[in-house]
A and B are shown apart, each in its own frame.
Chain A
Amino acid sequence: MDEEKKLPEQPEQPEKPAAEAAPAPKPKPKKKKPKKDPRAKLYKPDHLLIMSSSPHLSTVDSVSRIMWTVVIAMLPALLMGVYYFGWAAIKMAVTCILAAVITEAAINRLKGERFTIKDGSAVITGLLLAMTLPPSFELSGAVIGSVFAIAVGKHIFGGLGYNIFNPALLGRAFLQASFPVAITTWTNPRTVDAVSTATPLGAFKFEQIGTALTDLLYGNTGGCLGETSAIVILAGGLFLIIKKYADWRIPVSYLGTVFVFGGITWLIDPVAYPTPMFHLFSGGLMLGAFFMATDMVTSPITSKGSWIFGIGAGILLVIIRLWGGLPEGVMYSILLMNAVTPLINRYTRPKYFGEPRA
């Protein structure tokens, strides 16, 4: 921030004695007789005042406050994961978070910048990644994913605020490409041994087996750590929305589009396609809609843009789920919309106050 110093309102040296061309009579007592004006000392505050540019007030919200709140909002979902998958869930979460934080610190060190761990964003990335992995996934693989997420997903682009893609999702995409089998091997909840089972989406897609809605709601299904229980994710998401740390438009438009578009396909052919409710509550959709699509850095800054982002992701998701080669489309639908976010921002500039409506 060197530029800063050139700005017009930066601090000047206080109290330069009357060296100016203009005669400065009263307020500036001559050096030799400082006692002459009895009030002279009153003119000098006994300590220096600070100069700053307006506004001189700011909200309590700060980047780290936002980030840590997101972490807190994700805790219930993590606890559900622990309830269903036990130690495996804890190990997975701790591994990913540690790997992400250490990578962040190492890169800070390398780049010679101040440490950015405190802002909480690396913790979020690690935690989010953990939530998208199957609990039986190799911990070494999880470490690779975390390192990739932070190093490539975030720092190659220039660090916090400059990345185009959600780092956790990029890490997950990398793992999906590298370990396509391991990442789709799911454990049944509440069982100790890793008997592989199908996720509800996989079951439907590849075996035409439906799963009861109540199981989906409470998370009593196979799947990733955080993608199982829709209700707790919803609760965490609502908390963020109420705190205004997540833009409500994104989950509303994302989920709404999935519901409507999924509903249309179901009405057309109820046998081949799942019900809209099944779409909503299965897979990582809730987690994606509330915690990934709403990532501030990688979603649009305008409200119109947020609608477009959510609707676009919803359409992509249904297409991928129904006609793509994969059972799950949350990750790619969000990553694809991340890629077009700069464009969305450009074309959704709000009309200025008083600008004629065309």
Chain B
Amino acid sequence: MRLPTFNKGVHPNDFKHFTCSLPVKSLPMPDHVLIPLQQHIGAPCTVNVEKGQEVKTGQVVGAGEAYVSSPVHSSVTGVVKDVGTFRHPLGSKVQMVYIQRKSEEDEWELMEPITDWQAAKVEDLNTRIKAAGIVGLGGAAFPTHVKLAPPKEKPIDAFILNGCECEPYLTADHRAMVEQADRILEGMAIIMKILGVTDGYIGIENNKPDAIQVMHEAVSRGGYDFKVVSLQVKYPQGAEKMLIQSVLNRQVPTGGLPMDVGVVVNNIGTAMAVTDAVKEGKPLVERIVTVTGDGVKEPQNVLARIGTPFIDIINLCGGLTDEAAQVFMGGPMMGMSQLDMKVPVIKATSGIVCTSDKGEAAEDAMPCIRCGTCVSACPMFLLPTRIARLSEVGQTEAADELGIMNCIECGSCAFVCPSRIPLVQWIRLGKLRVGEMKRKAAQDAA
């Protein structure tokens, strides 16, 4: 039988052999951490600590009062040394709280555990998820409590747990599934209670047979009636829209959201964080990070405190090799290149990938030979070559008409392009311009 999947997409080498069989290792506490006040989509947090103040692990240092926001917590026990702007792994400089660890003690400030969550009120559970600062840990970092409270006119009837981890190199979710299946499933059950749905699916790519088996066993052991769905290995299987198509054969309408087809998707790490927040009252201060690639001496899956500088983690994994040429946060398909190794791990850091690959110089791009490979690769059914070209020459409106805003920036098109045209780069620029154009049009209309 052919395993379910979505249409188009690409097959990059997965490079997961570096770390896929290595158990997650807890790192020693970092000497200092940098907690960015913006680690999520939505309003930034407001600082509520002062320089010199002592903080405990798990204490709120930035409050996210706005509805679409998420608080941030100290991930060590120590002293606030500074509040200032530092470089963020996503590029710009943002406000961060700089905390120096004080002692060997790791004193936690926990919230009240909700042990009997089955009996708890849905609102209380969702409030807890917000208070714990939980966001989508797959990389999008959208506040989870917002996702779990869709508007009334969008009834939800299915929940999918995203265990695809389709990005090459990354194995954080894979290891979590193998080692922490029960915690993940309980989180899934809590999420489904909040959503009020009974149909639960766990989508896992077929290249993780051990994870599929462990999850199967855990589901029957726990008496859940979730369905474990093994999926064809194809990138970007883990993109929400692709995953919903693969698992439920529903297509999220153009420009729509998963809730438009009655589905909510969450990531493995998110489910685990939900369990911790509810059952132990633990806020989100640590996550599994895959440190991997041929640019680092000892690739590993590590449990790292949020805010730990990349370089500390890399050094604990043996340091960069002499050949290391690039470091990304996230996988190689959608991750961000990093120059400054002092940037901190944030909630969305699924991996630190170090490679000796020098990449392609922009001058090496050849003209488009109209081979159409990018068209056959684009999972959103766009014409990457056209929209990239239109943005390159500044024809923003024409690019908009060809659906540039539907691009999920998955990188499949540029991955396959034999001319090595930086398609995604041009498309991103085009999207920015379309956004500007629309804002201006809205202003003029008002």
Contacts and interface: CB of A to CB of B under 8 A. Distances in A.
Given A7-B429, A8-B428, A63-B419, A54 B334 contact: yes
A54 B81 contact: no
B402 A349 contact: yes
Interface in B360-389: 360, 362-363, 365-373, 375-376, 379-383, 385
A3 B392 contact: yes
A50 B326 contact: yes
Interface stretch (B83-91, B212-220, B283-291, B299-307): B83-91
B417 interface: yes
Contacts of B385: 301
Interface stretch (B67-75, B145-153, B408-416, B435-443): B408-416
Contact of B411 (A25, A45, A54, A159): A54
Contacts of A24: 84, 86
A109 interface: no
A296 B158 CA distance: 43
Given A45-B341, A49-B338, A301-B370, A58 B420 contact: yes
B332 A161 contact: no
Interface stretch (B40-48, B55-63, B246-254, B265-273): B246-254
Interface stretch (A9-17, A193-201, A266-274, A324-332): A9-17
B112 interface: no
Contacts of A66: 369, 371, 418
A208 B84 CA distance: 90
A62 B418 contact: yes
A302 B383 contact: yes
A21 B372 CA distance: 48
Contact of A302 (B168, B359, B375, B416): B375
- Interface on chain B toward A: helix, strand, loop, or mixed SS? loop
B357 A56 contact: yes
B358 A50 contact: yes
A207 interface: no
Nearest to A245: B371
A53 B337 contact: yes
Contacts of A12: 339
Given A45-B341, A57-B12, A353-B380, A63 B369 contact: yes
Contacts of A358: none
Interface residues of B, number: 86
Interface in A23-38: 23-27
A323 interface: no
Nearest to B379: A353
Nearest to A300: B372
Q: Find the residue from A51, A54, A349 having the highest chain B CB count within 10 A.
A: A54
20 contacts: A26-B98, A42-B315, A49-B327, A51-B337, A52-B360, A54-B411, A55-B414, A56-B337, A58-B414, A62-B419, A62-B420, A63-B419, A66-B369, A66-B418, A159-B367, A161-B369, A297-B370, A301-B370, A350-B375, A354-B251
The 8 closest A-B pairs by CB, nearest first: A55-B411, A161-B367, A301-B372, A22-B84, A296-B371, A22-B85, A56-B332, A27-B342
Given A21-B85, A54-B334, A56-B333, 6 more contacts: A24-B86, A25-B81, A26-B100, A54-B409, A161-B370, A356-B253
Interface of B: 10, 12-13, 32, 81-82, 84-86, 91, 93, 98, 100, 168, 241, 251-256, 309, 311, 315, 320, 322, 324-328, 332-342, 355, 357-360, 362-363, 365-373, 375-376, 379-383, 385, 392, 402-403, 406, 409, 411-412, 414-420, 422, 424-425, 428-429, 432
